[in-house]
Amino acid sequence: MLTFSLTVVRHGETQYNKEKLLQGQGVDTSLSEPGLQQAEAAGLYLRELRFSNVFVSNLQRARQTAEIIMRNNVHSSGVEMVFDPLLRERGFGIAEGRPKEDLKNMANAAGQSCRDYTPPGGETLEQVRLRCKKFLKSLYQRMVDDHSCSGQSSAAVGTEAGAGGAESGTDGPLAGLPDDGMEGVPLHALVVSHGAYIRVAVRHFVEDLQCSLPQGLKMSKVLSACPNTGISRFVLTVSPSECGVALSAVRCVFTNRKDHLTSRNICYITH
C-alpha cells in the first residue's frame, strides 16, 4: 500500500471572477493583480511543505497560480509540474464569457436548478465527475510508479473507500497549520485546478467514495464553493488491484481553507 496527502488549490482571481463572468474552458484568462497576490499568499502559506508531485490544469490561470506556489516553495524546486487537461474547469458551452446571472436565467427557463443545468455545448456534472475519476486513476498510478520503490508504504488512513464511514479519521481538532494532516505521511501531491471542478471532486470523495470527515465539520461547509486559492487536503491510501492501482482508503483533513487570505497577509505581500 502507498499513502500520500493530496493538497488541492483553486487558482487565483481573474478579472472575469471579479466581474462574475463565466470562464469555463473557452475563456483562458490570466490572473488579475489581486489574483497574483492571492497566489503569492498561498505560496507563502505552503512554502515549507515538500511536494513530491505536482499536477496542474493547463489553463493559464491555474498554470500561473501553480508557478507562483512552486516559486515560493523551499523544498520542491526540482519537481516537475504536470499540466493535465483532465483538471480543466467545467465547460459551460454557450454561457462562457457571459454573466453568471445569464446561466441562472437559462436554468430557470429550462425549469432546472443552476447547479444541475447544462447550457448547450457545456459539460454535464456527470461528465465532469467522470473526468475527475479518470484523473484520479492516473494520479494513483503515477504515485505508485514514482514512489513504490522508495519504501514509502503505510497502513490505511481512514475509511475504506466505498465502505461508508462515520469515523473522523483525525485524533482531534486541527491546529490550523499548513501541514495539518501530514504527520507520518511523507509523500505529498499538489493539484491546482478550478472552482466548479474542485466542487465536483470533493463531492465525489464525500458521496461516492464515502471518505471520513473531520470531527464537527458540517457537510454544507465541505461541499461549499471553493474561494480563489482556497486549499483543501485529503489523505489517500492506494493499493494494487486486478485492474491496476485502486483507492483503498481516503479521509478529508480540511476543505476550502483561506487562512492565507487575511488582510494582514495580503498587506505583507503588497508592501
Active site residue 89: yes
State the Cα–Cα distance between residues 36 and 16, nearest whole angstrom.
14
Question: Which secondary-structure segment (H or E) carries 258?
Answer: none
Q: 218: Cβ–Cβ under 8 A, 6 or more apart, which residues?
A: none
Catalytic residue among 40, 89, 96, 123: 89
Catalytic residue among 11, 147, 188, 260: 11
Q: Check whether 10 is labelled as a binding-site residue.
A: yes
Question: Which secondary-structure segment (H or E) carries 72?
Answer: helix 60-72
Rg (CA), the chain: 18
Q: Check whether 221 is labelled as a binding-site residue.
A: no
Q: Check whether 12 is labelled as a binding-site residue.
A: yes
Q: Check whether 50 is labelled as a binding-site residue.
A: no
Question: Which secondary-structure segment (H or E) carries 217?
Answer: none
Q: Answer yes or no: are the C-beta atoms of 253 and 181 closer than 8 Å.
A: yes
Q: Check whether 11 is labelled as a binding-site residue.
A: yes
Q: Check whether 73 is labelled as a binding-site residue.
A: no
| CA 150 to the chain's CA centroid | 26
What residue has cell string 481553507? 257
- Farthest CA pair distance, the chain: 56
Q: Which of 108, 106, 109 is nearest to 120 (CA)?
A: 106
Strands (E), the chain: 2-10, 53-56, 81-83, 159-160, 188-193, 231-241, 244-257
Q: Check whether 14 is labelled as a binding-site residue.
A: yes
Binding-site annotation: residue ranges: 10-17, 61, 100
Which residues does the annotation mark as catalytic? 11, 89
Binding-site annotation: residue ranges for substrate: 10-17, 61, 100
